Amino acid sequence: MCSPEQPAMLLLLALLLLCNNGISDVEGSTIHESSIVDLHALLDFKLGITNDPQGALNSWSNNTHFCRWRGVNCTTTSPFRVTEINLTSLDLAGQITSSLGNMTFLRSLDLEWNKFVGPMPILARLQQLHTLYLNNNHLHGIIPDSLTNCTSLVNLDLSVNLLVGQIPILGHLQQLETLYLDDNDLHGTIPDSVTNCSSLANLDLSVNSLVGVIPPKLDFISHIFYLNLSENSIAGPIPPKLGFLSNLSYLDLSGNLLVGQIPPKLGLLSNLILLDLSRNMVAGQIPPSLGFLPNLEYMFLRSNQLEGSIPGELGQLQKLKELILGSNKLSGEFPHAILNISASLQILGLEFNMLDKALPPKIGDFLPNLKELTLDSNTFEGDIPASLGNATGLELIDLSNNSFTGQIPISFGKLSNLTRLNLQLNYLETRESRDWEFLNELRNCRSLNLLSLSYNQLQGHILQFIGNLSPSLDTLFLSGNSLSGQVPQSIGNLNVLTRLSLSGNELSGTVEGWIRNLRRLTILGLSDNNFQGGITQFANLIHLQKLYLSDNNFTGGIQ
């Protein structure tokens, strides 16, 4: 076992060897005395490495001048001083020595995407440091206040670590353009001094434990492009002055405790591409001015307390790709103006609101590139528009928990990319056998993995071609209808099913013929039917976690 003095002795020995052997610099002369400081720091750094699985530091030896070591760059003239260390994504482990803070010519230190532990190094003397990337490691402890002495810093990224404490006073970093402190456990408030960093273009403080309010003078950072304060506990209203940040393209305030209304002045952000205010306590109506954001591609207002109708002005957002307004208190009918967005809209989420009336009959014709449509848990009524089958890129349709009536459109069979179709908790009917034709057409949806038709008014026999459904079907829910007759043996073809519910119908016959092929089932619901016979083959369902058999006529035991 090494004694505590041995690392220092090894370092001294290495220095002596390098000097005594007269290792040449890149010009052929010996190492200059002023370069010894940098050499000492690099060797000290190497001593702190506990794991180097890729052999990244194998070149760090006395056989090569340190300016030629991997990841090290120096000045081009003597005395050669280290200006850059770049050892990103090498799985290096160990602690980062504060000796690096003696390398006064250092302009860039990039150790991101490694496995460094321990506290941050003290780098207060690095007046020329331009870029510091220590992100995606396992550093802990506080951010040293002395870091603010590095007055030339332009890029600072300490994200995705285990840092705690408060954000230091950063007002002295007048040249700072990028500040990423996200995904740590920082506490306290956002210091008002951050508004003194007038050159700041990118600010990310998300996924921390910050409290307080959004600094009221944040609009002083007039060049800011990217602002992310999401996933904290920031309270208070959204400052209307944010609308004066004319360069802002990305605004994410989601997952906080913000209250009040959405400031109409946000409609002045003509360069805004993303607006995310989800999961707050914002109330009032959606300002029509948000429809005047010509470059907006993503609007996320989910899980707030917004009310009133969806303003028709949103139909002017010709670049909008995703509109997510779910889990609010929005009322009125489906906003027909949304159809004006036409070709750009790909995801539309209006779930868990109080929207009503019928859907536009030509919704699928006007939104041909729609990929996800979630309208569940509203009070929509009338027929499901057959035109949805013309939006051939649809991958997810959720119309559950509404008041839709009529038949399930056979046009759904044209949706070859469909993976999830949820129509449960409606009043859909199958009065005649031809009304089951949609099930035959769904055989063309070869990517379908969830089909839920539970709690409707479906009746009649489950047709034999149910076994022709997607071979990747994982979930099939038909419970709570009036299905009768025997379960077709072809259902056994769906041998990747993990969840099957047929409960609450009028089904009869035995189950032992088709059940033996469904060996991946984890949930099986057969209760409240008229099944009979034995249940001996249930023992083959080795992954089964939940089994519902009550209110049937089964005999014997499970074997």
CATH 3.80.10.10 domain span(s) along the chain: 1-164, 458-559
Query: pLDDT tier at 463 (50, 70, 90 boundaries)?
Result: confident
10 or 433: which leads in pLDDT: 433
Q: How far is CA 451 from the centre of its chain?
A: 25
pLDDT attached to residue 540: 82
Q: Which CATH number fits domain 1-164: 3.20.20.70, 3.90.1150.10, 3.80.10.10, 3.40.50.970?
A: 3.80.10.10
- Supply the mean pLDDT for the chain: 92
pLDDT at 438 over 70: yes
- What is the CATH architecture of 458-559? Alpha-Beta Horseshoe (3.80)
How far apart CA 10 and CA 28 sit, in angstroms, is 26
pLDDT at residue 555 tops 90: no
At 12, list the tokens: 């001294």
| Predicted structure pTM score | 0.91
Residue 91, φ and ψ in degrees, nearest 5: 60, 25
Section 526-535 average pLDDT: 93
Show the beta-strand stretches assigned E in 192-311.
202-204, 226-228, 235-237, 250-252, 257-259, 274-276, 283-284, 298-300, 305-308
Stretch 254-277: mean pLDDT: 98
Let me know if 391 is exposed, middle or buried by CB neighbors in 10 A (0-12, 13-18, 19+): buried
Least confidently predicted of 29-43, 218-232, 344-358? 29-43
Torsional sign, CA 438, 440, 441, 444: positive
Q: What is the mean pLDDT of residues 359-387?
A: 97
Q: Which letter does DSSP use for residue 332 in this model?
A: E
